[in-house]
């Protein structure tokens, strides 16, 4: 089955891959020169990853930290630029290390060109991560 190419469908497909813990397939949704940014990253955490290889290295251990169960709230907003969407969402699951609950809200600004993610700005709350005891949130580690 071919991958979706429209930004909203590609994004939703990526969420399904994360729920399936298929990080390599999620990384395959990225352009070779894609950029992943965390504008609110706390000190000591990366604020910008450049290129699919860097994103793959960063995301590889995600399932070892967060066991995602669902994205119960996902709202996709189309912008005036057809390739760019703004997504409001909530991810829930458990923290692998402690077994405690994981519940995080996100806003993402995502650009897709030629069926691949070229830019992803992940606006998550690092204070909520500290309160949960997580050492990995969104894609933060």
Domain boundaries, the chain: 7-132
Q: Which residues contact 11 (CB under 8 A, 6 or more apart)?
A: 76, 85, 87, 108, 110, 112
CATH number of 7-132: 3.10.450.50
Model confidence pLDDT, tens digit, residues 62-114? 999 899 999 999 999 999 999 999 999 999 999 999 999 999 999 999 999 99
State how far the alpha carbon of 87 is from the alpha carbons of 15, 44, 120, in Å. Answer: 12, 26, 10
Model confidence pLDDT, tens digit, residues 14-33? 999 999 999 999 999 999 99
Q: In this structure, are strands 101-113 and 84-95 parallel, antiparallel, or unpaired?
A: antiparallel
pTM tops 0.85, yes or no:
yes
Q: Which residues contact 45 (CB under 8 A, 6 or more apart)?
A: 38, 126, 140, 141
């Amino acid at each position: 089955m071919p991958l979706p190419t429209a930004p909203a469908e590609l994004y939703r497909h990526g969420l399904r891959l994360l729920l399936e813990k298929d990080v390599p397939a999620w990384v395959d949704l990225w352009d070779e020169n894609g950029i992943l940014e965390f504008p609110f990253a706390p000190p000591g955490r990366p604020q910008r990853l450049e290129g699919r290889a860097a994103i793959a290295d960063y995301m590889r251990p995600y399932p070892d930290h967060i066991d995602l169960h669902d994205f119960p709230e996902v709202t996709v907003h189309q912008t005036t630029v057809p390739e760019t969407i703004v997504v409001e969402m909530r991810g829930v699951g458990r923290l692998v290390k402690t077994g405690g609950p994981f519940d995080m809200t996100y806003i993402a600004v995502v650009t897709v060109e030629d069926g691949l993610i070229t830019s992803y700005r992940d606006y998550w709350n690092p204070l909520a991560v500290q309160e949960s005891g997580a050492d990995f949130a969104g894609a933060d580690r």
